[in-house]
């Protein structure tokens, strides 16, 4: 894992962990994995699962994932013109 991903994970994890300080680190990670719907072994849990779950944990059910929202076009015509390189 790269340093920036470690920093991002810690930055996202810190405020959520402060809400439940009685949990140790493994309990918190296990809880987050369960909330995210992860069913595998914890040692195979990727940082991506934790990062995206923490980013989306307190958002509405219908909200888009931040990485996808920036590329979303509400208008089909604009999306086609942008995909063809006609507009920026």
pLDDT, residue 13, reads: 95
pLDDT given for residue 66 in this prediction: 67
**Residue numbers of the chain with a pLDDT score lower than 50:** none
DSSP-derived letter for residue 64 is: P
- Residue 77 pLDDT: 86
pLDDT value at position 20? 94
Domains and CATH numbers, the chain: 3-61 (1.10.1580.20)
User: What's the whole-model pTM score?
Assistant: 0.68
Residue 45 is predicted with a pLDDT of 93
At residue 28, the pLDDT reads 96
**Structural tokens at position 34:** 């369960």
Q: Structure tokens of 20?
A: 């439940």
């Amino acid at each position: 894992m790269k340093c920036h991903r470690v920093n991002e994970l810690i930055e996202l994890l810190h405020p959520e962990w402060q809400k439940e300080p009685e949990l140790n680190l493994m309990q918190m990670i296990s809880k987050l994995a369960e909330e995210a719907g992860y069913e595998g072994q914890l040692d195979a849990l990727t940082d991506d699962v934790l990062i995206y779950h923490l980013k989306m944990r307190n958002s509405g059910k219908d909200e888009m994932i931040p990485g996808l929202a920036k590329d979303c076009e509400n208008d089909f015509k604009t999306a086609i013109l942008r995909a063809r390189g006609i507009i920026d």
